[in-house]
């Protein structure tokens, strides 16, 4: 259930995107992460049992424009739970303490029974946690509405909506309907929280007086809980490729300077997460001050586009990208090797002997001119 934190003046609510494998749960969360603007937004994390093809996706954010609720800022924790994850401990962990559900239904004609099976599973899972499907905010999103064999929205929800939940049509892979779905479910949650704080509704609100958990802490707790409750070995996105995997050494290497001015004097100690987004690769690195102190996360976005044409490449396979802007380092103002070579070549236009002959000739001419001038005036 929602958590009200009196220390940080925040109310944290959990929304889970639930559906069959291939319905678009992960796509929704990824597109929402790309589209949403927030005062604060965490990186996009993945976690799930090792050996499974699918993972749960997670991020949290504070909306950019949503006003506070009774003086408390809303924090949304967004999860996906696709049907391809079979480990029951993982599924129960993600659904536990949920505040609202987006049921992602697949509009393609051969997915009708799969949609119904997963809706019944969702209802059973909620019942085991003491919740009723009809008693929590739910939005049904009809995804893949652009498929060639897509059924109409009314046909899709005929067996899925006995309680009259709001319905949103979407093509999540293109971003259509993604923000509308979140806005619909968020409106329902905010209304219930307001009513509860006003004493007009009764939903559980967990009160705490502590510092807010970071997104990395949240994922770590989930992984520990899953591992404790099952024999499955959960892992995050960065566990998928071992650091010493020889495959990482194949192909060309590109060296990029990524340390901004405010992180001068810090060094990377750990990669917290890395995820492929619509515009490139987002890597979150934990940076440690060399003189001690708390670590800080640094998000590095590697955009998928050609490097600038004026980048200087060395003879080795490593290409060093030219840094943009001014950095306060004194070394940034020193000439590079190419400039040094050009300056050294400027003095090699003529052999040294010619400079000596020119000097003697110039001196003789100046002497004759001075002698002539003295003879004229004297």
CA 76 vs. chain centroid, Å, equals 15
How large is the average pLDDT for residues 149-169?
95
CB 78 within 8 A of CB 17: yes
- pTM higher than 0.85: no
CA-based torsion, 56, 61, 67, 69: positive or negative: positive
What are residue 309's phi and psi, to 5 degrees? -70, -20
Q: Which residue has the higher pLDDT, 55 or 260?
A: 55
Q: How confident is the model at residue 324 (pLDDT cuts 50, 70, 90)?
A: very low
Task: Return the domain boundaries, the chain.
Answer: 2-237, 251-341, 347-378
Residue with tokens 């049904």: 140
Q: How confident is the model at residue 201 (pLDDT cuts 50, 70, 90)?
A: low
Task: Return the exposure string of 193-205: e unless at least 16 CB atoms fall within 10 Å of the residue's CB, then b.
Answer: beebbeeeeeeee
pLDDT in tens, 204-220: 677 777 777 888 888 88
Mean pLDDT, the chain, rounded, equals 80
pLDDT of 140 reads 98
Does position 178 have pLDDT exceeding 90, yes or no?
yes
pLDDT of 303 reads 77
CATH superfamily, domain at 2-237: P-loop containing nucleotide triphosphate hydrolases (3.40.50.300)
pLDDT in tens, 25-36: 999 999 999 999
pLDDT of 377 reads 64
Does position 22 have pLDDT exceeding 90, yes or no?
yes
Work out the number of other CB atoms within 10 angstroms of the CB of residue 327.
15
CB 3 within 8 A of CB 189: no
Q: How confident is the model at residue 333 (pLDDT cuts 50, 70, 90)?
A: very low
Does position 143 have pLDDT exceeding 70, yes or no?
yes
Does position 317 have pLDDT exceeding 90, yes or no?
no
């Amino acid at each position: 259930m929602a958590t009200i934190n009196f220390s940080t003046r925040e109310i944290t609510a959990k929304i889970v995107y639930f559906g069959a494998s291939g319905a678009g749960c992960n796509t929704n969360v990824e597109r929402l992460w790309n589209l949403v603007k927030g005062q604060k937004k965490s990186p996009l994390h993945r976690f799930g049992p090792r050996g499974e093809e699918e993972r749960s996706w997670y991020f949290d954010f504070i909306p950019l424009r949503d006003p506070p609720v009774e003086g408390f800022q809303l924090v949304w924790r967004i999860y996906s739970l696709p049907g391809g994850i079979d480990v029951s401990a993982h599924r129960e962990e993600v659904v536990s303490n949920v505040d609202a559900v987006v049921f992602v239904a697949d509009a393609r004609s051969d997915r009708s029974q799969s949609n119904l099976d997963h809706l019944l599973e969702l209802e059973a899972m909620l019942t085991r946690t003491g919740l009723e499907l009809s008693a929590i905010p739910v939005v049904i999103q009809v995804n893949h509405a652009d498929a060639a064999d897509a059924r109409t929205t009314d046909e899709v929800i005929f067996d899925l909506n006995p309680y009259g939940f709001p319905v949103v049509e979407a093509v999540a892979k293109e971003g259509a309907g993604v923000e509308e779905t979140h806005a619909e479910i968020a409106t329902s949650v905010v209304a219930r929280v307001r009513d509860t704080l006003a004493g007009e509704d009764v939903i559980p609100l967990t009160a705490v007086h502590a510092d807010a958990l970071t997104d990395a802490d949240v994922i770590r707790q989930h992984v520990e809980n899953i591992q404790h409750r099952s024999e499955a070995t959960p892992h995050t996105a960065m566990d998928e490729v071992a650091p010493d995997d020889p495959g990482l050494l194949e192909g060309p290497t590109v060296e990029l300077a990524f340390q901004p001015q405010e992180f001068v004097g810090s060094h990377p100690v750990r990669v917290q997460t890395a995820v492929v987004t619509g515009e490139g690769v987002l890597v979150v690195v934990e940076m440690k001050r060399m003189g001690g102190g708390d670590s800080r996360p640094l998000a590095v976005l590697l955009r998928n586009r050609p490097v600038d044409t004026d980048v200087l490449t060395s003879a080795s396979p490593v290409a060093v990208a030219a840094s943009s802007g001014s950095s306060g380092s004194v070394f940034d103002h020193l000439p590079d090797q190419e400039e040094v070579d050009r300056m050294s070549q400027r003095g090699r236009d003529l052999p040294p002997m010619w400079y000596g002959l020119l000097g003697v000739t110039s001196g003789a001419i100046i002497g004759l001119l001075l002698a002539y001038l003295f003879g004229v005036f004297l």
